[in-house]
Amino acid sequence: MKNKLYGIILCLYSGLRIGELMALQWSDIDFTKGILAVSKSCHDGKDGLIIDEPKTITSRRVIPLPKQLLPILKGIKRKSSSPFVVSANGKPVSVRSYQRSFELLLKRLNIPHKGFHSLRHTFATRALECGMDVKTLSEILGHKNPTVTLNRYAHSLMEHKADMMNRLGKMLVLKTE
């Protein structure tokens, strides 16, 4: 899998922010327990990547990873010569560079422009559609409370709304004579 893609996939299945992804090191992933620890974030500075504290206190968190993602990450780690999960030639990748790679990928696939943060929105929406409770999702995203999660990320699709309404409609029983 191309270096440019697996970071995107990891965000789609963990809800990481781009700064958290770029700061993520292999030592932050416990393959035995299947968890990822978010303990730092980063941003671009004049002299390269600046690794810092996460956005908020609640941004420090442990995320259980889908078991289907673990073999992919293990394979990437085996081939990696960098302590960073996303790297180029063994070195960390700048936030701006990775955002640009994402934009070019969207363009190549003829997908309308979306910011990298849209991956986090997609993760949150899909998690809710799969039945994840809002409290769990809120903790995975590193939000202070579930209200933040619902207000910012829970974009329901029309087909999902229709499906939910049809489930509700099944309770309607009309007697015909």
The chain-wide mean pLDDT, for the chain, equals 89
For position 165, what pLDDT does the model report? Answer: 87
174 or 92: which leads in pLDDT: 92
**Helix axes 134-141 and 118-129, enclosed angle (nearest 10):** 160
For position 160, what pLDDT does the model report? Answer: 75
Extract the tokens encoding 61.
């968190």
Percentage of the chain modeled with pLDDT above 70: 92
Asked if residue 22 lies in contact with residue 92, where contact means CB atoms within 8 angstroms, the answer is: yes
Percentage of the chain modeled with pLDDT above 90: 59
Q: What is the mean pLDDT of residues 149-176?
A: 77
56 or 153: which leads in pLDDT: 56
For position 72, what pLDDT does the model report? Answer: 93
pLDDT digits (tens, 9 = 90+) for 22-80: 999 999 999 999 999 999 999 999 988 899 988 788 899 999 999 999 999 999 999 99
DSSP state of 84: B
Asked if residue 95 lies in contact with residue 22, where contact means CB atoms within 8 angstroms, the answer is: yes
For position 3, what pLDDT does the model report? Answer: 54
DSSP secondary structure, 91-111, as one string:
EEPPHHHHHHHHHHHHHHTTP
Q: Is pLDDT at 1 greater than 60 in this prediction? A: no
For position 68, what pLDDT does the model report? Answer: 94
What is the rounded distance in angstroms from the CA atom of residue 34 to the CA atom of residue 13? 13
Asked if residue 65 lies in contact with residue 35, where contact means CB atoms within 8 angstroms, the answer is: yes
Calculate the dihedral angle through the C-alpha atoms of 113, 119, 124, 127, rounding to the nearest 10 degrees.
110
Q: In sequence order, what are the beta bridge partners of 48?
A: 45
What is the rounded distance in angstroms from the CA atom of residue 126 to the CA atom of residue 61? 20
Q: Is pLDDT at 123 greater than 70 in this prediction? A: yes
Bridge-based pairing of strands 48-52 and 61-64 is: unpaired
pTM for the full model?
0.85
